[in-house]
Structure 1
Amino acid sequence: MKFSVQFLSFFVIHNEGSDPDGPKKYKHYQTLTHEEYQDSELKAFLDGEFKRIAKRKAEINAVSENVPTKIGRFIVEPGYDLTSNPNYNLFQRLRTANDKVEFHNFSDDVLRLYMDTNSVRGGAFVMATAKLNELYDDPFLFLFKCDFESKIARVSDERSLITQVEMAINAKNIKAIQYPHMPEEGMVEEWELKIHQASHARYFEDFLKYVSYEKSKPEIVADQVMEMVHQYMETKWQAADIPYYDAVPEAEEEAPGAPVTEEVAAMRQEKQQFDVWAAGEKRELQEKWSHDHVVEATKQLVELQPDLELRFKLDDILIKGHMEDYGGNIHIAKMNGRYVVLIEGDSFQFEKGVSPIELLHPEEMQDVLQRVGNGVRRRASGEAPSLD
């Protein structure tokens, strides 16, 4: 996959004063044609980045909210086409620029839009159109942002040792946008673009206000689970002849002075408990649903997303598996007021450091349950030993 640069504009964003968080301004350094790019130092720095962003894999529904590479889609109102989207039009003008002056002017429009976003950082901003001549007639558009690296020096001589390098950039942490998205060679999606930024800050995508990103898989699962919770609440409380909408406090505004029964108060309390649970970063076992109810719920989720991960901690022990393992290979129970996780499997595999556990001849399950049932266990982490 070899991209041939058609036009390229190079800008530098820097602080107006000494405050790194202060106002920024930008300066256009050069706009290059294909021939000028071939003879420039920039070619060795950037050539590999075109292929790298094009090859990066990304899913419409990302595996997590903080993945570095995402797929964006231009937003249009129903009944309208892509030309109604300002961000698309901006990109298209760059892709269809006839000469370097036109490309420079359109690049300047993009950079001014970027400068209006929050948390703009100093660095080099590069816009380029490049063709895959063996596959497409129309060029791809690439936007690259390299933040300035701090504390960069080069070895100088025996007396001064090093010399500080100002405005140093590094391709390692480069942020990039590619349009259009190319899911595989020979296929392009005109409605989609690919964006890559390794940092957790999302400022590089903020200036594209008319591009949307689909929910990540965890967000979709969370929505599906909450829908199951709503169905559970409706079924439970309608069986008690109480409409579920009464759980919403705003209903009081529609009927001021209406008495709140004990059942309605209990329903609202349970709804609030679910809301607090769903919003928590770290959550505990709720003990609301039966085993069969949970098995059915996980089955519905796995049908939609077969590769869902199951991950939780019991005290300080981390358990990882797949959602479909619950009820089959992974079981959760209580004994003597404490939680028990039972994991089934056909073979063990140990890695790295050797331990005596690898020499174990396993007990029968009944013996283990009897031992656990009698409360025989090792000391908890940090627990003082017995003085007996």
Structure 2
Amino acid sequence: MKFDVEYISFFVIQVDGEDNQGNKRCKHYQTLDGDDYAESELSSFLGSEFTKIAKRNAERNPKAEQVPTKIGRFGAEPGYDLDSNPNYNLFARLRTAETMDLFQEHAEAMVQAYMDTSAIRGGAVFIVRAKYNKLFDEPFIFVLKCDFEQKIARITDERSLLNKVEMAINAKNMKSIMYPHMPEEGMLELWELKIHQSSHARYFEDFLKYVEYEKSMPEMMNEQVLGFVHQYIDQVFEDNEEAKERETQEMELWACSEQRELQQKWTPEQVVEASNILIEQKPDIEMKLKLGNMTVKALLADFGDRLHIAKMGSRYVIVMEGDGLLFDKGISPVELLDPEPLEQIVERIQRKAEEEEAVEVW
């Protein structure tokens, strides 16, 4: 996957103050056409970055709420086209600039807009127009940001030994925007772009105020499960508004908790029925839970089929079944086990639960 650079503009952002909240300045260093870029040091510095960015995977509904790579979609009011979106227009002008001077002008406008974001850090910004000539006549726009590295030094000679580099950058933690989004080779989504940034940072999301992002799977699940809960409350407390309000508040507090205990409200059949609605949308939804100091990771689809939750007295029991049993690195004596019948284990757990209950009563 080879991208041919048509134009590239190189800017340096400097921010005074250790908290990156001081005076911000931007300087344009150079704008090059494709021939000059190929002969410059920028060519070797950026190397295969464009291919890496294009091939970087991003999910429309990521498995976590904070992920480094996201797909964004330009927002528009119903009945309006893409060019009604201010963020889209920044990219469109760069894609259609007919001269290097025009490209530089539009690149400067984009960097100035980026400068207005909160908590911006100093570093180098590259605005690039490049073509993937193998498949497309239309160009791509890449926005690349490298933060300044702290306390960088290089070896010089035997007298001075070390020479401090004031403004050092590298491509290791480069942030990037690619427009348009290419879900797979040969396909373009003009309404979408792909951003890559530190998962805890929101530089590009702050910058692109009119770009929307799909909800993560945890967010979608939370919303849908709460929808099921409200339906359940409406049915159970149909004639008791006071109880309905109290139950709703309790369940919303439960939903907001970082760690949640088993609620013991629904039958296994009700749980499976609600789970199936989620599984139809995304079959590989994961489920994690802790039993004492043990962590269980499975698919939601496993519940009621290969994973079962039961109770003996005041103790919880998880039963998991499968065709094979494998161990990771680090040999343990457990791997030599000749498994006993399930019935014997159940009897032993039952005795243990009864003994503990007897002690509590005494």
TM-score range, shorter chain: over 0.9
Cross-structure match for 1:286: 263
Q: Paired residue for 1:213?
A: 213
Shift of 1:354: 0.9
Match of 2:185 in 1: 185
Q: Which residue of 1 aligns with 2:24?
A: 24
Contact 2:197–2:203 (CA under 8 A) maintained in structure 1: no
Q: Distance in 1 between matches of 2:114 and 2:11?
A: 12
Map of 2:100 onto structure 1: 100
Alpha-carbon distance in structure 1 between the residues aligned to 2:18 and 2:326:
57
Question: Which position in structure 2 is the counterpart of 1:333?
Answer: 310
Q: Does 1 or 2 have the higher relative contact order (CA < 8 Å, sep 6+)?
A: 2
Which residue does the alignment assign to 2:274?
297
Match of 1:147 in 2: 147
Q: Secondary structure at the match of 2:183?
A: strand
Indicate the residue corresponding to 1:15 in structure 2.
Answer: 15
Identity of aligned residues (%): 55
Q: Output one character per residue of 1:234-266: Cα deviation in whole Å (capped at 9) or x when no partner.
A: 11112xxx2xxxxxxxxxxxxxxxxxxxx4332
User: 1:273 Cα shift?
Assistant: 1.0
Query: Matches of residues 189-338 of structure 1 in structure 2 within 5 Å?
Result: 189-238=189-238, 242=239, 263-338=240-315
Measure the CA separation in 1 of the matches of 2:57 and 2:10: 27
Which residue of 1 is the match for residue 360 of structure 2?
Answer: none
**In structure 2, distance between residues paired with 1:162 and 1:59:** 44
Q: Is the 8 A contact 2:237 2:243 kept in 1?
A: no
Q: In the aligned structure 1, how far is the partner of 2:242 from the partner of 2:353? A: 43
The alignment's C-alpha RMSD in Å is 1.7
| Structural mapping, 1:355-370, within 5 Å | 355-370=332-347
Distance across 2 between alignment mates of 1:146 and 1:355: 46
- The residue type paired with residue 224 of structure 1 is Q
SS in 2 for 1:229: helix
Amino acid in the other structure paired with 2:110: V
Rounded to whole Å, the distance in 1 between the matches of 2:247 and 2:214 is 31
Q: Give the Å deviation of 1:18.
A: 6.3
1:57 maps to a residue whose letter is N
Q: Distance in 2 between matches of 1:19 and 1:144?
A: 22
Q: CA deviation at 1:162?
A: 2.3
Unaligned runs of 5+ in 1: 243-262, 380-388
Q: With the length of structure 2 as denominator, give the TM-score of the two structures.
A: 0.94
Q: In structure 1, what is the equivalent of residue 73 of structure 2? A: 73
> How far has the Cα of 1:31 moved from its partner?
0.7
- Structure 2 SS opposite 1:375: helix
Change (3 A) 1:265 1:18: closer
Q: Mark the CA change 1:31 to 1:296 in structure 2 (over 3 Å): closer, same or farther.
A: same
Deviations 1:194-246 (A, max 9, x none): 111134111222111111111112211111111111111111112xxx2xxxx
Q: For residues 15-60 of structure 1, what are the alpha-carbon distances to aligned partners after superposition, in whole Å with 9 as ceiling and x for unaligned?
A: 2456643221111111111111011100011131111111111122
Residues 90 and 106 of structure 2 are in contact (CA less than 8 Å); yes or no, is this contact kept in structure 1? yes
Q: How many residues align?
A: 355
Whether the aligned pair in 1 keeps the contact of 2:7 and 2:34 (CA below 8 Å) is yes
1:120 aligned partner:
120
Instruction: Give the match's secondary structure for 2:70.
Output: strand
Q: For residue 323 of structure 2, what is the amino acid of its counterpart? A: D
Equivalents in 2 of 1:326, 1:18: separation in Å?
51
* Secondary structure at 1:181 match in 2: coil
Aligned to 1:130: 130
Structure 2: gaps spanning 5 or more residues: 357-362
